[in-house]
């Protein structure tokens, strides 16, 4: 068969969509709706939620009481965000999210899950040896800090509210939001402020680990 006669991926996908629609297995325009939904799934939404909580004590209280409603206040709601529970990090306790069954996240505020979150190794190991997994990912915690692992269920989605970094007191939401990473809202990293150090490391958006100076 010549290459000219080979259908492109887009053409094959379109043919499958048309066939399923014709058989009544797929509503017309359903895939367009999914594509439009994916465009709104962005972990930067969660960063805005965190920044608001850091600057607004009343909003933070609502967020911890009813994460779903508080996220919806900022316009972040929808599929996989019907029941969001927000977990507040403290100096004594580090929260960590996993989905041992698949790779569920709170789409409206965390977006689609990163590859490492979906990996069988992370899902299996983090519940058995969370501190070691965190260390391998660049986050070294003091021995007296308790690590609590939260396993996503069929109904519940989690969002970690990380500790606001020192040196950012008085910053605005617009200044704070860029500091927040998806990794910090899953719980495998801290949010670093100006001149971050303390021997910590952080993971950039590409997944590269950088050690603190």
Which pLDDT does position 41 carry in this prediction?
A: 78
Closest C-alpha to 84, from 151, 154, 159, 149: 159
CA distance 180 to 46: 8
Q: What residues act catalytically?
A: 99, 102-104
DSSP string over 129-168: -HHHHHHHTT----TTSEEEEEE--SS-EEEEEPPPPTT-
Strand 146-151 and strand 93-98: the pairing is: parallel
Residues 158 and 151: beta-carbon distance below 8 Å: no
Which pLDDT does position 193 carry in this prediction?
A: 81
Which pLDDT does position 98 carry in this prediction?
A: 97
71 DSSP assignment: H
CA distance 148 to 19: 47
Whole-prediction pTM = 0.76
Ranges of residues in the chain with a pLDDT under 50 are 1-2, 30-37, 197-213
Which pLDDT does position 211 carry in this prediction?
A: 40
Dump pLDDT digits (tens) for 107-151: 999 999 999 999 999 999 999 999 999 999 999 999 999 999 999
At 162, list the tokens.
Answer: 């990380």
At 133, list the tokens.
Answer: 């997994």
Domain 42-211 belongs in CATH node 1.10.260.40: no
Which pLDDT does position 13 carry in this prediction?
A: 55
3-state secondary structure of 99: coil
Residues 178 and 152: beta-carbon distance below 8 Å: no
CB neighbours of residue 164 within 10 Å:
20
Which pLDDT does position 79 carry in this prediction?
A: 87
Strand 146-151 and strand 157-161: the pairing is: unpaired
Which residues are 160's β-sheet partners?
A: 87
């Amino acid at each position: 068969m010549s290459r000219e006669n080979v259908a492109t991926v887009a053409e094959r996908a379109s043919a499958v969509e048309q066939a399923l629609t014709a058989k009544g297995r797929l509503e017309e325009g359903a895939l367009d709706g999914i594509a439009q939904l994916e465009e709104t799934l962005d972990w930067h939404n969660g960063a805005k939620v965190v920044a608001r909580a850091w600057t607004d004590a009343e909003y933070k209280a609502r967020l911890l009481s009813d994460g779903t409603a508080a996220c919806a206040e900022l316009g972040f709601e929808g599929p996989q965000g019907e029941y969001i529970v927000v977990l507040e990090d403290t100096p004594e306790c580090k929260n960590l999210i996993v989905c041992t069954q698949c790779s569920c996240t709170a789409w409206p505020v965390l977006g689609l899950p990163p590859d490492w979150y979906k990996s069988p190794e992370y899902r299996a190991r983090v519940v058995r040896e969370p501190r070691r997994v965190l260390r391998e990912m660049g986050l070294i915690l003091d021995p007296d800090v308790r690590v609590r692992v939260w396993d996503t269920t069929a109904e519940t989605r989690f969002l970690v509210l990380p500790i606001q970094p020192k040196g950012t007191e008085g910053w605005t939401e617009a200044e704070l939001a860029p500091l927040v990473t998806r990794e910090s809202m899953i719980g495998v990293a801290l949010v670093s402020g100006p001149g971050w150090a303390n021997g910590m490391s952080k993971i950039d958006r590409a997944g590269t680990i950088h050690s603190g100076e």
